[in-house]
Structure 1
């Protein structure tokens, strides 16, 4: 992972396949695997479950694109 830029509003980063999968898997586990009441989720994560799921869906879609491009380039996933 490489942090390209960090401002008060946005962090721009380059994620490799392993980085993207780590984020995806961690979000998936906390959103879908571990049972936490909503108040506990918010306290532990700092965001509500809906926001975490939005990030999970976005990173998942980006991983799908990355997989397709890597396969087209005959690279391992």
Structure 2
């Protein structure tokens, strides 16, 4: 991972396909491995927010595969 830029509220990073795969797998485990009643408390985000992030990461990985 390479940090490109950051501010108080946002950051821009460059990650490899392998790093994105790790992130994708971790988000998938979090989404499916924690009971709904404790999800928000343990993660600090709703299951829907995590699912949206997972979808975004998966979409990026799909686009990267299409470029090969």
Q: TM-score, normalised by structure 1?
A: 0.80
Max radius of gyration: which structure? 1
Higher relative contact order (CA 8 A, sep 6+): 2
Give the number of aligned pairs.
68
- Once the two structures are superposed, residues 9-43 of structure 1 have per-residue CA deviations (whole angstroms, 9 ceiling, x without a partner) of 111110101110011000011112x14133x2112
The alignment's C-alpha RMSD in Å is 1.1
SS in 1 for 2:35: coil
Give 5+ residue unaligned stretches, structure 2: none
4+ residue segments displaced more than 6 Å: none
